[in-house]
């Protein structure tokens, strides 16, 4: 009985997610859902990505339990930013994203970045209508997280290892991450970067641009 309830919630979510994807496709907007533990560096990565990519053609939806702090940070780099407060919800839902889309002008946009609520478990279960899922993990979190939270990394189209500027300071065996990923997700690239120093950002930006070109080959991104 319990399982049926969960299934129906997910089914209803998936139906709204499909509508979200249709709206985004119609507008030629690539949507990327960023998922990670709190503090892995989602907001700072977006603060660096958007100015380098196409500042006037990026919109952002940010999910957090409380506060508009991330939206305030991102408001200085993106033209359209909406904060979604989930209250006690540990992940965004497709319905919340649909409401967020209602408030955005998608015409003229190339990219929609969705910063999910900081959590390594729940966000992975909910399709939001995004085109690509990115899972972040940061060096200070430790090199065992891929094995401990496999669902987040299994669902990812790309995995971003952030804060590599701290590799020399902390005991961190990158090889463990590669080995764990080889068991659970071999199709997603592992992109190592530091939003602080800029190391590795080029590779990430190239991956993002390639995804949009695949989605919308006839329109050149700004």
Ligand X SMILES: Nc1nc2c(ncn2[C@@H]2O[C@H](COP(=O)(O)OP(=O)(O)O)[C@@H](O)[C@H]2O)c(=O)[nH]1
Residue 48 contacts ligand X per CB under 6 A: no
Identify which of 74, 72, 23 has the alpha carbon closest to the alpha carbon of residue 46. Answer: 74
Residue 142 contacts ligand X per CB under 6 A: no
Query: What is the helix, strand, coil percentage profile of the chain, to 5?
Result: 45, 20, 35
Among Mg ion, ligand X, none, the one that 131 touches (CB under a kind-dependent 5 to 8 A) is none
Residue 43 contacts Mg ion per CB under 5 A: yes
Determine the Cα–Cα distance for residues 150 and 6; give it in Å rounded to an integer.
20
Instruction: For the CB of residue 80, give the shortest distance to ligand X in the complex, in Å.
Output: 18
Look up residue 47 and give its two tokens.
């603060």
Among Mg ion, ligand X, none, the one that 163 touches (CB under a kind-dependent 5 to 8 A) is ligand X
Residue 41 contacts ligand X per CB under 6 A: yes
Phi, psi of 159 (to 5 degrees): -120, 130
Residue 43 contacts ligand X per CB under 6 A: yes
Residue 211 contacts Mg ion per CB under 5 A: no
Determine the Cα–Cα distance for residues 60 and 77; give it in Å rounded to an integer.
10
Determine the Cα–Cα distance for residues 50 and 95; give it in Å rounded to an integer.
25
The residue range among 24-32, 35-43, 127-135, 151-159 that interacts with ligand X, by the rule CB under 6 A, is 35-43
Residue 163 contacts ligand X per CB under 6 A: yes
Binding positions for ligand X, rule: CB under 6 A: 36, 38-44, 118, 162-163, 165-166, 194-196
């Amino acid at each position: 009985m319990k399982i049926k309830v969960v299934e129906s919630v997910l089914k209803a979510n998936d139906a709204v997610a499909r509508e979200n994807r249709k709206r985004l496709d119609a507008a030629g907007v690539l949507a990327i859902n960023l998922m990670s533990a709190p503090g892995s560096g989602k907001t700072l990565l977006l603060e660096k990505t958007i100015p380098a990519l196409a500042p006037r053609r990026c919109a952002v939806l940010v999910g957090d339990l409380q506060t508009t702090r991330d939206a305030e940070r991102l408001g200085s780099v993106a033209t359209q930013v909406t904060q979604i407060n989930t209250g006690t919800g540990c992940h965004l839902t497709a319905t919340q994203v649909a409401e967020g889309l209602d408030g955005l002008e998608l015409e003229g946009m190339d990219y929609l970045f969705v910063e999910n609520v900081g959590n390594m478990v729940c966000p992975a279960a909910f399709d939001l209508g995004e085109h690509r899922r990115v899972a972040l993990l940061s060096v200070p979190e430790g090199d065992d997280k891929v094995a401990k939270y496999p669902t987040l990394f299994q669902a990812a189209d790309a995995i971003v290892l952030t804060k590599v500027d701290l590799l020399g300071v902390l005991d961190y065996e990158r090889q463990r991450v590669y080995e764990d990923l080889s068991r659970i997700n071999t199709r997603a690239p592992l992109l190592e970067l530091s939003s602080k120093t800029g190391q590795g950002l080029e590779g990430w930006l190239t991956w993002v641009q390639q995804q949009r070109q695949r989605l919308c080959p006839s329109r050149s991104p700004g």
